[in-house]
A and B are shown apart, each in its own frame.
Chain A
Amino acid sequence: MIDQFTPPTRRQLLTMIGKAGGAAALYQAMTVMGHAKDSQFTGPPQLSGAKPGATVLVLGAGLAGMLAAYELTKAGYKVQILEFQGRAGGRNYTVRGGDTIAEIGSKQNVTFAPGNYLNPGPWRIPYHHRTVLHYCKELGVQLEPFLQINHNALIHSKKAFGGAPQPYRELMVDWKGHVSELLAKSLDAGALDTAVTAEDKAKLMEAMRGWGVLDKDMRYTKSDHVGEQRGWERPPGGGINGAPIPNDPSSLTETLNSGVWQTLGFYAEHVMQTTMFQPKGGMDHIGKGFAAKVGKLIRYNTRVTKIAQDDRGVTAAWTDTKTGATGETHADWMVCTIPAPVLNQIDFQVSAEKKAAIRALPYGNSVKIGLEMKRRFWETDHAIYGGISFTDQAISLVSYPSAGCFTDGPAVLLGAYPFGPGAYMLAGMTPEKRIQTALEQGSVFHPKEYKAEFLSGATVAWNRMPWILGCCATWTEESRAAHYQNLVSMEGRIVLAGEHCSYYGCWQEGALLSSLDAITRLHQRASAA
């Protein structure tokens, strides 16, 4: 059998390791082989052999709940889902023309043109969020690149350049130029001679000269080489005036005041690195993909009022928010994905420790505002194709659409996405005032066009969404230490899932990883029972 002497392929080897040692061993092996380091995802769970007739009740038809229902159904469980809203998806949500947005205290009718949309919740998927990407593939959700970094987008600080926004490209190049010059000066003056060897010092000087684009005197000054990075006063052309003319770098002080180092740091974070993706046509195609599989299991408009369990099973009491009818649903097991701000108000039969964990989990707030403009002036007039312009005002940023570049007709900008104080300020306004404020503040980037081209807006303040009362869980090191394990532990016949039950807070990846972990433990317990 010659086959025995052929080295196994990597896939064969991983399959063998997976069979022999389970998911943890597989993950470890994949990590050693240079794969999967950046996600705990090792593939869909291999659950099978549910006891005949075993039932699971899932509370919440967001991504965590629908993934649980999808995989548990495949494993042989009979699953039902109760959902507070009239739609599936939870925070996986897209608004389009014809939709209404019902916040506590207000209602909006969205009038975007066909094809235009706002993703009020998640809007980008890092390349290493393998669980989300896996299920997008499995569910047939088409992905396209999300344009995360745009060097020609702008940075605005009230404290820098007299409040005039500057291209990220220029600030980034000036930042490394000034830092390089200062390090070179320190090295040259011998200030670091006790910290670096002579050999490293020589390499550093070489590196600063190249990386910082310093001149022969190790200074960051106007030059063609600098122009090749930060752009030109007169760009290269043809014929008699073909020679480019560089422009003047900004001063160290103005570069510091711009805070560009924060933008550099932000883009350096693993979850903000490229490649980034988005579903074509709106984030809710992921929720729709799951709903196509498990939608028939969902009872909509169903507000859970009480959750109980005993030796034999679980019971959720509920009220139909449309008819007022009340009822109870029984099952053997439960996956509860109700967000903590709502769950802590429900009569919930779990231990004091788990209740304390649920109560100790506040949700941060966020607001998004979509602004539909008559035309893509950021592209046609400013050569900005996708990406993000940052501001220190309450709106925090303006993000340009990744899809549909070079098309005519109306397009939707993300006109605000703050957390923290800016989010509270905007959330406290009526939707109309929010949109007006976003137009005022965003005009700093595009004063000529921003208000003139505006057609309509739509906004979601997460703290005013009646089914969640917040954006996503806010953990601290202290609250993790005190409560995290108590929150995620399976207690009796009930296990919690959702982004709040993960270390990937506020990401769909966290919701899905949490769900996979929860149903794996549920299946183990159900199989042992």
Chain B
Amino acid sequence: MTGKIRGAVLALAGVTLATAASLATPGFAQDRPGPGGATVEVSTEGQEVYEQICQACHMADAKGGGEPGAMIPALAGNANLADKDYPIIVVMKGRGGMPWFNGVLTKEQIAAVITYVRGHFNDYHDPVSVADIDRIVAANPPVPECNTCGH
């Protein structure tokens, strides 16, 4: 199962939780590749979304990395993920150096990958659904203020 990015952008056109700018088309006047990469397809399966997107930063073992003061947070064994709203907010809105993925991934992809990360790299097995994401979109909570979440 695959979902095209362009379709994803259209599918999320009604979502207003975060800003609509897509990271696939970076901002004003910046250097960028141009029109290439337009049809890169991201899986809808949780583990594959993790491998295709998240592990770029959080690494294949979800343990993050870096040095103190310049860390990529670990997702494995991360107590912040006990509350499933927390990763939904962060993925939808971004936090710190992490960009938002609203408009980049579909709600289905976001639900699937959070379910995978919480269940596979942690011990939280209640699934995250598209309804959960809709609930967060409707509530529009602020990004959690914890400067070292997951470090």
Contact with A along B26-50 (1 / 0, CB 8 A): 1111111111111110100000000
Contact with A along B78-99 (1 / 0, CB 8 A): 0000000000000000111111
Question: Chain A residues with Cβ under 8 A from B25's Cβ?
Answer: 420
A456 to B39, CA, bound (A): 28
The answer to whether the Cβ of B14 comes within 8 Å of any Cβ in the partner chain is no
| Minimum distance in angstroms from B76 CB to a CB of chain A | 14
**Are A472 and B30 neighbours in the complex by a CB distance under 8 Å?**
yes
The answer to whether the Cβ of A263 comes within 8 Å of any Cβ in the partner chain is yes
Q: Which of A158, A391, A418, A505 contacts B29 (CB 8 A)?
A: A505
The answer to whether the Cβ of B1 comes within 8 Å of any Cβ in the partner chain is no
Question: Chain A residues with Cβ under 8 A from B65's Cβ?
Answer: 104-105, 464, 466
Q: Which of A159, A272, A419, A428 contacts B60 (CB 8 A)?
A: A428
The answer to whether the Cβ of A341 comes within 8 Å of any Cβ in the partner chain is yes
A463 to B59, CA, bound (A): 11
| Minimum distance in angstroms from B85 CB to a CB of chain A | 19
**Are A474 and B57 neighbours in the complex by a CB distance under 8 Å?**
no
Asked whether A104 and B96 contact (CB < 8 A) given A124-B31, A421-B24, A476-B19, the answer is no
**Stretch of A190-198, A237-245, A358-366, A372-380 that contacts chain B:** A358-366
CB-nearest residue of chain A to B29: A271
**Stretch of B66-74, B120-128, B130-138 that contacts chain A:** B66-74
Question: Chain B residues with Cβ under 8 A from A262's Cβ?
Answer: 34-35, 38
CB-nearest residue of chain A to B23: A420
The answer to whether the Cβ of B129 comes within 8 Å of any Cβ in the partner chain is no
**Are A345 and B148 neighbours in the complex by a CB distance under 8 Å?**
yes
Number of interface residues, chain B, beta carbon within 8 A? 52
CB-nearest residue of chain B to A367: B56
CB-nearest residue of chain A to B105: A421
Question: Chain A residues with Cβ under 8 A from B151's Cβ?
Answer: 345
Q: Which of A104, A105, A419 contacts B26 (CB 8 A)?
A: A419
The answer to whether the Cβ of A340 comes within 8 Å of any Cβ in the partner chain is yes
**Are B42 and A503 neighbours in the complex by a CB distance under 8 Å?**
no
Q: Which of A305, A388, A420, A463 contacts B57 (CB 8 A)?
A: A463
Q: Which of A259-273 contact B (CB under 8 A)?
A: 259, 262-263, 265-266, 269-272
A91 to B63, CA, bound (A): 26
The answer to whether the Cβ of A512 comes within 8 Å of any Cβ in the partner chain is no
The answer to whether the Cβ of B108 comes within 8 Å of any Cβ in the partner chain is no
CB-nearest residue of chain B to A469: B97
**Are B98 and A362 neighbours in the complex by a CB distance under 8 Å?**
yes
| Minimum distance in angstroms from A525 CB to a CB of chain B | 28
Asked whether A362 and B100 contact (CB < 8 A) given A345-B70, A476-B27, the answer is yes
A263 to B99, CA, bound (A): 26
**Interface size bracket, A side:** 35 or more
Question: Chain A residues with Cβ under 8 A from B55's Cβ?
Answer: 428
**Are B94 and A362 neighbours in the complex by a CB distance under 8 Å?**
yes
A304 to B67, CA, bound (A): 12
**Are B29 and A342 neighbours in the complex by a CB distance under 8 Å?**
no
The answer to whether the Cβ of B5 comes within 8 Å of any Cβ in the partner chain is yes
**Are B52 and A428 neighbours in the complex by a CB distance under 8 Å?**
yes
**Are B26 and A507 neighbours in the complex by a CB distance under 8 Å?**
no
Q: Which of A359, A397, A469 contacts B36 (CB 8 A)?
A: A397
**Are B69 and A393 neighbours in the complex by a CB distance under 8 Å?**
no
**Are A506 and B97 neighbours in the complex by a CB distance under 8 Å?**
no
A321 to B148, CA, bound (A): 21
Contact with B along A111-123 (1 / 0, CB 8 A): 0000000000011
Question: Chain A residues with Cβ under 8 A from B21's Cβ?
Answer: 474, 476-477
Question: Chain A residues with Cβ under 8 A from B27's Cβ?
Answer: 474-476, 505
**Are A466 and B34 neighbours in the complex by a CB distance under 8 Å?**
no
Question: Chain A residues with Cβ under 8 A from B57's Cβ?
Answer: 365, 427, 463-464, 469
**Are B28 and A272 neighbours in the complex by a CB distance under 8 Å?**
no
CB-nearest residue of chain A to B94: A362
A464 to B104, CA, bound (A): 20
Asked whether A478 and B19 contact (CB < 8 A) given A341-B96, A346-B69, A463-B57, the answer is yes
A52 to B78, CA, bound (A): 52
A363 to B95, CA, bound (A): 10
Q: Which of B22, B37, B60 contacts A392 (CB 8 A)?
A: B37
A-B contact pairs, 9 of them (CB 8 A): A265-B35, A270-B29, A340-B97, A361-B97, A362-B100, A395-B36, A428-B60, A466-B70, A506-B31
Given contact pairs A84-B70, A266-B35, A474-B23, enumerate 13 new A-B contacts (beta carbons under 8 Å).
A262-B34, A341-B70, A342-B97, A344-B97, A390-B35, A461-B56, A469-B70, A469-B72, A474-B99, A478-B19, A479-B19, A505-B26, A507-B31
